[in-house]
Amino acid sequence: MTSFTKYTNGYKNMSLKSAEFLRPGSSPGALGCFVYSLLLAISVVVQPVRGAQEFSFEAVGEVRCTTFDEDGTNTFISRFQASISGCQTLIRSKLLLDDDPDYHADYHEYSCQGSNSTLLTRYRDDLTFTNATRLNLGVTETINFKKPQRAWNRGTAMVRPDALPPYGYEFLTAVWLAYGSRCHYGQSGQGLVSPVVFLGDEFREAGLKVKSEWRFESRIPNLLQFMAEFSDGNSYEKQGSRVEVKPLPQPFDAGFTNAIFRTIEWTNVAGYTFPRRFEVLKFDPEFADKAGTKLKVAYMMEGETHSFVLGKTRTNFASELPERCNVIDYPHRDDRSRTHYFYYRTTDGKLISYEEFLARQQRRNPER
């Protein structure tokens, strides 16, 4: 297996915007990154702790999220609270966006009790809207209101058929990799796995796998030390109902490093070893580079944990849905609307099964 230091040599003298072109097993030069080094005191609460397989704890901290695009650099902070017990995980994240009136979410919450997972977006209670969107046969429609209205629903829950955080919520993914990824990867190793970081439209949904390497800390609770995921050299872009697969320009068509995770600093809490500072970097090909050998940093997530609580802090790892909530359930497809999910509204904060969904549809449309 490729050594951990092979991917991290030269981190202190890196260009933030670009990185040397990497393939699985290749030697990196300088990766694009910087180290967020603000040191904070850690508070600790100790409760009874079980064995490593059912290890339980809570971590509280922040993730600094930095994105890079043609318009420049954008940075925001996400405060998180992560509760872990074995393969059960609940991570709540609140974005700090200077009270941006256009940002609708109070918080985002990822929860997993084993195989399926749920992402809850809880909306702010003070919101009013001038328009709304809805899905009709897989097509998004916009409805304009005559005057501002409060939303009927207080949240949207997305139920997924896997244990991975959904794309677009990398501030949650970074925390999940640091504290909740043990059951996804198992033991240290390498192989083909479902990608944690975005590789293309419908890639993960189609059940495709990527080359990956990962390593866990040897000390209990054996959390993630390092992970690298590799592109297969193709682009995946959704065109209508189809996904167009094309090889990337040379030499990127041979594959390259798509993303890395690493724990930057560990801390000891009552004899147990936890990530205190960690980061995720997502790379894209730098097509503007004449030599065609550069990767650019698409985004960087830098996490720092401020406090830990050892022992189980909760018994229920399911997200608590608001009474009025929209639900998008991906484990089943709705053949009537020709979508890869079924959609419903709950008025009691409870999820329903696919069978109950079909029964509701039949009661509403008995002739169908």
pLDDT in tens, 53-68: 578 999 999 999 999 8
Q: How confident is the model at residue 361 (pLDDT cuts 50, 70, 90)?
A: confident
| Mean pLDDT score, 287-294 | 78
pLDDT for the residue numbered 9: 29
What is the tens place of the pLDDT at every residue in 323-342? 899 999 886 655 554 457 78
Enumerate residues 6+ apart whose C-beta is below 8 A from 145.
Answer: 129, 130, 131, 132
Tell me which residue has tokens 């097993």: 25
Residues 42, 45, 46, 52, CA torsion sign: negative
Helix, strand or coil, per DSSP, at residue 173: helix
Helix, strand or coil, per DSSP, at residue 19: strand
Integer CA distances (angstroms), 353 to 118, 307, 331, in order:
14, 38, 10
Tell me the β-bridge partners of 356. Answer: none
Percent share of the chain, pLDDT over 70:
80
pLDDT for the residue numbered 120: 95
Q: Which residue has the higher pLDDT, 125 or 244?
A: 244
Q: How confident is the model at residue 210 (pLDDT cuts 50, 70, 90)?
A: very high
- The chain-wide mean pLDDT, for the chain, equals 80
User: Which tokens is 1 given?
Assistant: 């297996």
Residues 207, 341, 117, 140, Cα dihedral to 10°: 110
Integer CA distances (angstroms), 208 to 47, 95, 211, 227, 245, in order:
41, 31, 11, 18, 13
pLDDT for the residue numbered 367: 63
Full-model pTM: 0.80
pLDDT for the residue numbered 339: 58
Percent share of the chain, pLDDT over 90:
47
Tell me which residue has tokens 């990824």: 181
Tell me the β-bridge partners of 275. Answer: 266
Domain that holds residue 323: 4-32+42-364
Residue 355, in any domain of the structure: yes
Q: For residues 131 and 34, what is the distance between their CA atoms, to the nearest angstrom?
A: 41
C-alpha count within 13 angstroms, C-beta hemisphere, residue 149: 11
Q: Which range, of 18-22, 70-74, 128-132, 361-365, averages the lowest pLDDT?
A: 18-22
**Of all helices (H) and strands (E), which one includes residue 84?**
strand 72-85
What is the tens place of the pLDDT at every residue in 159-180? 988 889 999 999 999 999 999 9
Q: For residues 126 and 108, what is the distance between their CA atoms, to the nearest angstrom?
A: 17
Residue 286, in any domain of the structure: yes
pLDDT for the residue numbered 138: 67
Identify which of 32-36, 46-50, 96-100, 359-363 has the greatest average pLDDT: 359-363
Helix, strand counts (H, E) of the chain: 4, 20
Is the bond preceding residue 251 a cis peptide, omega within 30 degrees? yes
pLDDT for the residue numbered 77: 94
pLDDT for the residue numbered 5: 28
Residue 60, in any domain of the structure: yes
Residue 135, in any domain of the structure: yes
pLDDT for the residue numbered 342: 83
Residue 37, in any domain of the structure: no
Q: For residues 310 and 57, what is the distance between their CA atoms, to the nearest angstrom?
A: 4
- Is residue 291 predicted with pLDDT exceeding 90? no
Number of independent structural domains in the chain: 1
| Mean pLDDT score, 355-359 | 85
What is the tens place of the pLDDT at every residue in 213-246? 999 999 999 999 999 999 999 999 988 778 899 9
Q: How confident is the model at residue 1 (pLDDT cuts 50, 70, 90)?
A: very low
Residue 251, in any domain of the structure: yes
Residues 263, 59, 320, 149, CA torsion sign: negative
Residue 80, in any domain of the structure: yes
User: Which tokens is 146 given?
Assistant: 């005559």
Tell me the β-bridge partners of 144. Answer: 131
Question: Strands, E, within 311-355: which ranges?
Answer: 325-329, 342-346
- Is residue 27 predicted with pLDDT exceeding 90? no
Q: For residues 127 and 148, what is the distance between their CA atoms, to the nearest angstrom?
A: 9
**Of all helices (H) and strands (E), which one includes residue 147?**
strand 139-149
pLDDT for the residue numbered 331: 67
Helix, strand or coil, per DSSP, at residue 70: coil
- Is residue 24 predicted with pLDDT exceeding 60? no
Q: For residues 303 and 96, what is the distance between their CA atoms, to the nearest angstrom?
A: 14
Residue 88, in any domain of the structure: yes
